[in-house]
Chains A and B, each alone.
Chain A
């Protein structure tokens, strides 16, 4: 995979950045920090969104029905569907090996270790980590953020320090920091958000970022509106005041090429199940120096070098942070998912989603009773459309869509602060992935008539 996120110039909000970006898109890749896949017209393999990027047969769930209808799966913001070969990779581990890793002196364990370590290498390469030792397996984004909160935040922060986050965050990237702030006496501050576009008011960064800021915890892509903050710019500003930056990559990593080493983030957290992998497995990337200076997160087996009666010494990263037998089958399957996505190409996936998002914006904008949250400027948005239909509660809309075989998310999406900012209690959210097509959008739009029929 070509390096991407943040590898190129930061695109501002101005138009010429886009031009520069689309040129670089064909040359190298879609750059997350530079606004994704460029104009939807870039016909990079199915970039028009009309056809899925992969055979639908790859996904068993797409071959079943929901409420008696073919499945239009648009809840990718919550979790992605699992391709057959990922399911097989996990099953194969249990079928062929089922042995523990690292300490076994027999062939089954050796092979299991080999597959597990390979998965870590694939993951490290996928996000552009300098070394595979900087990728720690966790249960997912939430645990990754908690790891940083417990092992770094609690030990490093003190009264007078500040943690800077945003109202765009998923609860997992707010609540952890509320607790860390409460325990350490640090203060929690927020980068202002424009409620119309849900874009961060980066021009006002100076108002909230200072030498007191020790950590910036920020999403790489909103799980509600698909908005992508200008990460490179924020990271550079944070580093100038000596703050560390944690990027919540739950949405970003699954939908965009990411090159974390050129992006410069100190931490990147993400989940396997949003990128065609299984649930219960994810990862945390950390810069080598910060991982070295952090104490362990959990204590126990596998994370030590020597244990005495009254003390122990700890292994180097990543083992230092991986106490106990990990989710071996899940890790191996996630490695398989990485290969699956890499074969398709993250640039193509980003372009495909961008085309589908633009199409969904276009289709939904035709109806005066539909409100699209965050506006419809495609420039810094991707993969997700959040909307409301009249004053119908999102759960009612979601339920009626379910009856039509259309799977969407309804509610507040673990982002209550953003809902409050938007002045709503919830949205209907459709998110796209490599197996979605314009037909899925058409079915969504057509099914909304059903909602109008019932609630009109």
Chain B
């Protein structure tokens, strides 16, 4: 059995390598930094809003594949959603990783399911949640 293999699914690596959302947004409405002091992951999340709708989302920074792939999935998953809808998605994702919740994501965010393997590696859960935590914090008000 090799748990390492099951973690590094192709779909996660694709998100890790994707460049589309990995960019600084100069005209962002909301910016939030997320850091994992224990592993050196450090990302910045940018949101462009149209009212309460997320018009665009991007990130920048350094991190392991899980952290970066998760940030990219977040950007793909929440673009076009309202803040409330996006936050709901975040809760579902967090519940899947921390409370064994179901992985029934809407079609446009179905890739999040690939992160399910992360829950077997407690130290990596916070990598997967880093961008989502930043998103929750920046949209808390």
What residues make up the interface of A, taking CB atoms closer than 8 Å to B? Answer: 67-68, 392-396, 399-404, 411-412, 416, 419, 425-426, 450, 454-455
- A residues near B8, Cβ cutoff 8 Å: 396, 400, 454-455
Since A411-B38, A425-B40, A454-B5 are in contact, a sample of 11 more A-B pairs with Cβ atoms closer than 8 Å, ordered by chain A residue number, is A393-B65, A395-B39, A395-B64, A396-B65, A399-B124, A401-B4, A402-B4, A425-B42, A426-B39, A450-B4, A455-B65
User: Which interface residue of B1, B38, B65 has the most chain A CB atoms within 10 A?
Assistant: B65
> B127 to A395, Cβ gap below 8 A?
yes
Q: Which of A402, A403, A412, A455 contacts B13 (CB 8 A)?
A: A455
Q: Which residue of B lies closest to A401 (CB)?
A: B4
Q: Which residue of B lies closest to A67 (CB)?
A: B3
A251 to B127, CA, bound (A): 29
> A403 to B63, Cβ gap below 8 A?
no
> A396 to B3, Cβ gap below 8 A?
no
The reply to whether the CB of B138 lies closer than 8 angstroms to some CB of chain A is no
Write the nearest CB–CB distance from B138 to chain A, whole angstroms. Answer: 23
A308 to B33, CA, bound (A): 55
- B residues near A67, Cβ cutoff 8 Å: 1-4
A178 to B107, CA, bound (A): 52
> B121 to A454, Cβ gap below 8 A?
no
A39 to B48, CA, bound (A): 61
A191 to B4, CA, bound (A): 41
- B residues near A404, Cβ cutoff 8 Å: 2, 4
> B7 to A412, Cβ gap below 8 A?
no
> A393 to B1, Cβ gap below 8 A?
no
> B39 to A411, Cβ gap below 8 A?
yes
- Judged by DSSP, the binding face of A is helix
A454 to B3, CA, bound (A): 13
What residues make up the interface of B, taking CB atoms closer than 8 Å to A? Answer: 1-5, 7-8, 13, 38-40, 42, 62-66, 121, 124, 127
Q: Which residue of B lies closest to A412 (CB)?
A: B40
Q: Which residue of A lies closest to B6 (CB)?
A: A403
A396 to B60, CA, bound (A): 19
A68 to B5, CA, bound (A): 14
User: Which interface residue of A393, A394, A419 has the most chain B CB atoms within 10 A?
Assistant: A393
Q: Which residue of B lies closest to A68 (CB)?
A: B1
- A residues near B121, Cβ cutoff 8 Å: 399
> A403 to B40, Cβ gap below 8 A?
no
With A393-B63, A393-B65, A454-B13: A399-B7 Cβ-Cβ less than 8 Å: yes
> B4 to A399, Cβ gap below 8 A?
yes
The 10 lowest CB-CB distance pairs between A and B, nearest first, are A403-B4, A393-B64, A395-B64, A400-B4, A403-B2, A425-B40, A454-B8, A396-B65, A68-B1, A396-B64
Q: Which residue of B lies closest to A410 (CB)?
A: B39
- B residues near A450, Cβ cutoff 8 Å: 4
A450 to B39, CA, bound (A): 22
A442 to B47, CA, bound (A): 47
A402 to B127, CA, bound (A): 17
- A residues near B4, Cβ cutoff 8 Å: 67, 399-404, 450, 454
A426 to B7, CA, bound (A): 21
User: Which interface residue of A395, A404, A416, A450 has the most chain B CB atoms within 10 A?
Assistant: A395
29 residue pairs of the A-B complex, CB under 8 angstroms, read: A67-B3, A67-B4, A392-B65, A393-B64, A393-B65, A395-B39, A395-B124, A395-B127, A396-B8, A396-B64, A399-B4, A399-B121, A400-B8, A401-B4, A402-B4, A403-B2, A403-B4, A404-B4, A411-B38, A411-B40, A412-B40, A425-B40, A425-B42, A426-B40, A454-B4, A454-B8, A454-B13, A455-B8, A455-B65
A67 to B3, CA, bound (A): 7
- A residues near B39, Cβ cutoff 8 Å: 395, 411, 426
Write the nearest CB–CB distance from A265 to chain B, whole angstroms. Answer: 31
A6 to B124, CA, bound (A): 44
User: Which interface residue of A67, A412, A419, A425 has the most chain B CB atoms within 10 A?
Assistant: A425
- B residues near A400, Cβ cutoff 8 Å: 4, 8
- A residues near B38, Cβ cutoff 8 Å: 411
A328 to B8, CA, bound (A): 46
Write the nearest CB–CB distance from A158 to chain B, whole angstroms. Answer: 33
Q: Which residue of B lies closest to A403 (CB)?
A: B4
A401 to B7, CA, bound (A): 13
Q: Which of B5, B62, B66, B124 contacts A403 (CB 8 A)?
A: B5
Write the nearest CB–CB distance from A444 to chain B, whole angstroms. Answer: 14
- A residues near B63, Cβ cutoff 8 Å: 393
Write the nearest CB–CB distance from A35 to chain B, whole angstroms. Answer: 32
Write the nearest CB–CB distance from A113 to chain B, whole angstroms. Answer: 40
A402 to B40, CA, bound (A): 19
A243 to B135, CA, bound (A): 50
- A residues near B127, Cβ cutoff 8 Å: 395
Q: Which of A396, A416, A425, A454 contacts B62 (CB 8 A)?
A: A425
Write the nearest CB–CB distance from A64 to chain B, whole angstroms. Answer: 15
- A residues near B124, Cβ cutoff 8 Å: 395, 399
